[in-house]
A and B are shown apart, each in its own frame.
Chain A
Amino acid sequence: MQSALQKGGSRSEYRLLSAILILALCLTLAPVLRLFIEGVTDQGAPSLSLVKSVLAQDSTLNALKHSLITAGLGTLVSVVLGAAFAFLVALTDLRAKAALVFCLMIPMMIPPQITALSWTQIMGPSSVLLKTLGIAPPLGAPQPLYSPEGIILLLGIQHMSIIFLTLRAGLRAIPQEVVEAARISGARGFRTWWQVVMPLTLPSLAAGTAITFVTALGNFGIPAMLGIPAGYVTLPTLVYQKLAGMGTTVLAEVSVLAMLIGAVAIVGILLQRFFQGRQNVYLVGSTSRPLAIPLGSARLPVEILLWAVVFVILVLPMFGLLATSLVPAYGVPLRFDTMTFASWGEVLFRQPVTARAFANSFSLALGAAVVLMIICLPLAWLMERHPTRLSRLFDSLLDLPYALPGVVLSIAMILLLIKLPFTEATLYGTIWIIFLAYLARFFAVMFRPVQASLKQLDPAMAEAAQSVGAGLFQRLRDVILPLSAPAAAAGAILVFLTAFNELTVSALLWSSGTETLGVVIFNLDDSGETAMASALAMTIVFVVIALMTLIQLFSRRFPKGVVPWQT
Chain B
Amino acid sequence: MADIDITSLGKVFAGTPALQDITTRFEDGEFIALLGPSGCGKTTLLRLLAGFDMPSSGTIRIGAREVATATKMVPPEERNIGFVFQSYALWPHMPVRRNVSYPLEIRKLTKPEIAAQTDAALAATGLTEYADRMPSDLSGGQRQRVALARCLVSAPDAVLLDEPLANLDVALRASMQEVFTDFHKRTGATMVYVTHDQAEAMAMADRIAVMNQGLIQQFDTPQTLYERPKNRFVAEFVGRGTVVPVKAIEHDEIQLHAHILGTRIAVKSDAQSQVSHVCLRPENLSISETGDLRAKVARVTYLGGKYLLETVSACGTRLLAETRAKFDVGAQLGLTITTPWAFSED
Using CB atoms and an 8 Å cutoff, list the residues of chain A in contact with chain B: 5-12, 458, 460-461, 463-471, 474, 478-479, 482-483
Contact B89 A458 (CB under 8 A): yes
Cβ of B154 < 8 Å from any Cβ of A? Answer: yes
A sample of 9 cross-chain residue pairs with beta-carbon separation below 8 angstroms, ordered by A number, consists of: A6-B12, A7-B53, A9-B53, A9-B75, A10-B77, A463-B50, A463-B76, A463-B83, A468-B103
Contact A468 B102 (CB under 8 A): yes
Give the residue of A5, A10, A464 whose beta carbon is less than 8 angstroms from that of B85.
Answer: A464
Give the residue of B73, B79, B85, B93 whose beta carbon is less than 8 angstroms from that of A463.
Answer: B85
Contact B75 A478 (CB under 8 A): no
User: Which chain B residues lie closer than 8 Å to A478 at the CB level?
Assistant: 91, 102
Taking residues whose C-beta sits less than 8 angstroms from the other chain, chain B's interface range is: 20 to 34
A458 to chain B, nearest CB (A): 5
Distance between Cα atoms of A220 and B75 in the complex (Å): 52
Contact A482 B73 (CB under 8 A): no
B313 to chain A, nearest CB (A): 44
User: Which chain A residues lie closer than 8 Å to B83 at the CB level?
Assistant: 463-464, 467
User: Which chain B residues lie closer than 8 Å to A483 at the CB level?
Assistant: 91-93
Contact A460 B50 (CB under 8 A): no
User: Which chain A residues lie closer than 8 Å to B102 at the CB level?
Assistant: 465, 468, 470, 478
A381 to chain B, nearest CB (A): 15
Contact A466 B75 (CB under 8 A): yes
Known pairs A467-B81, A468-B103, A468-B154; A460 contacts B54 (CB<8 A): no
Contact B87 A469 (CB under 8 A): no
Contact B89 A9 (CB under 8 A): no
B150 to A, closest residue via Cβ: A468
User: Which chain A residues lie closer than 8 Å to B52 at the CB level?
Assistant: 9, 463, 466
A371 to chain B, nearest CB (A): 24
Known pairs A460-B87, A464-B85, A469-B103; A10 contacts B75 (CB<8 A): yes
Known pairs A463-B52, A469-B106; A9 contacts B73 (CB<8 A): yes
Distance between Cα atoms of A248 and B79 in the complex (Å): 60
Contact B106 A474 (CB under 8 A): yes
Contact A468 B89 (CB under 8 A): no
B49 to chain A, nearest CB (A): 11
Contact B107 A460 (CB under 8 A): no
Distance between Cα atoms of A7 and B73 in the complex (Å): 13
Contact B76 A466 (CB under 8 A): yes
Query: How many residue-residue contacts, CB under 8 A, span A and B?
Result: 84
Contact B53 A467 (CB under 8 A): no
B104 to chain A, nearest CB (A): 9
User: Which chain A residues lie closer than 8 Å to B106 at the CB level?
Assistant: 468-470, 474
User: Which chain A residues lie closer than 8 Å to B93 at the CB level?
Assistant: 482-483
B73 to chain A, nearest CB (A): 7
Cβ of B56 < 8 Å from any Cβ of A? Answer: yes
Contact B51 A9 (CB under 8 A): yes
Contact A460 B85 (CB under 8 A): yes
Contact A469 B89 (CB under 8 A): no
Give the residue of A5, A464, A469, A474 whose beta carbon is less than 8 angstroms from that of B54.
Answer: A5
Cβ of B346 < 8 Å from any Cβ of A? Answer: no
User: Which chain B residues lie closer than 8 Å to A461 at the CB level?
Assistant: 89, 91
Give the residue of B73, B89, B103, B160 whose beta carbon is less than 8 angstroms from that of A460.
Answer: B89
Distance between Cα atoms of A478 and B94 in the complex (Å): 10
The interface bits of chain B over 99-141 (1 if a CB of A lies within 8 angstroms of the residue's CB, else 0) are 0001100110000000000000000000000000000000000
Contact B91 A464 (CB under 8 A): yes
Distance between Cα atoms of A9 and B93 in the complex (Å): 25
B51 to A, closest residue via Cβ: A9
User: Which chain A residues lie closer than 8 Å to B51 at the CB level?
Assistant: 9, 466
User: Which chain B residues lie closer than 8 Å to A474 at the CB level?
Assistant: 106
B90 to A, closest residue via Cβ: A464
User: Which chain A residues lie closer than 8 Å to B107 at the CB level?
Assistant: 469
The interface bits of chain B over 48-81 (1 if a CB of A lies within 8 angstroms of the residue's CB, else 0) are 0011111010000000000000000101111111
Q: Which of A9, A460, A461, A479 has the most CB of B within 10 A?
A: A9
Contact B75 A467 (CB under 8 A): no
Distance between Cα atoms of A479 and B150 in the complex (Å): 15
Distance between Cα atoms of A470 and B90 in the complex (Å): 14
A466 to B, closest residue via Cβ: B76
User: Which chain B residues lie closer than 8 Å to A468 at the CB level?
Assistant: 77, 82, 102-103, 106, 150, 154
- Excluding A8-B53, A10-B77, A469-B107, 18 further A-B contacts by CB distance (< 8 Å) are A7-B53, A9-B52, A9-B75, A9-B76, A12-B75, A460-B86, A463-B52, A463-B85, A464-B83, A464-B147, A466-B51, A467-B81, A467-B160, A468-B77, A468-B150, A469-B78, A474-B106, A478-B102
Known pairs A9-B75, A12-B75, A470-B77; A463 contacts B89 (CB<8 A): yes
Distance between Cα atoms of A385 and B103 in the complex (Å): 22
Distance between Cα atoms of A460 and B91 in the complex (Å): 10
Distance between Cα atoms of A7 and B56 in the complex (Å): 10
Distance between Cα atoms of A482 and B75 in the complex (Å): 23
B62 to chain A, nearest CB (A): 13
Distance between Cα atoms of A58 and B186 in the complex (Å): 87
A482 to chain B, nearest CB (A): 4
B14 to A, closest residue via Cβ: A3
Distance between Cα atoms of A8 and B79 in the complex (Å): 16
Contact A467 B82 (CB under 8 A): yes
A462 to chain B, nearest CB (A): 9
Q: Which of B12, B53, B54, B107 has the most CB of A within 10 A?
A: B54
Distance between Cα atoms of A6 and B52 in the complex (Å): 10
Known pairs A461-B91, A468-B154, A483-B93; A6 contacts B56 (CB<8 A): yes
Give the residue of B56, B80, B86, B160 whose beta carbon is less than 8 angstroms from that of A469.
Answer: B80
User: Which chain A residues lie closer than 8 Å to B13 at the CB level?
Assistant: 6
Distance between Cα atoms of A44 and B23 in the complex (Å): 62
B112 to chain A, nearest CB (A): 20
Q: Which of B51, B56, B73, B106 has the most CB of A within 10 A?
A: B106
Distance between Cα atoms of A468 and B147 in the complex (Å): 11
Listed from nearest, the 9 A-B pairs whose CB atoms lie closest are: A468-B103, A460-B89, A467-B83, A464-B89, A460-B85, A466-B76, A482-B93, A469-B106, A10-B75
Distance between Cα atoms of A103 and B109 in the complex (Å): 54
Contact A466 B87 (CB under 8 A): no
Distance between Cα atoms of A483 and B92 in the complex (Å): 8
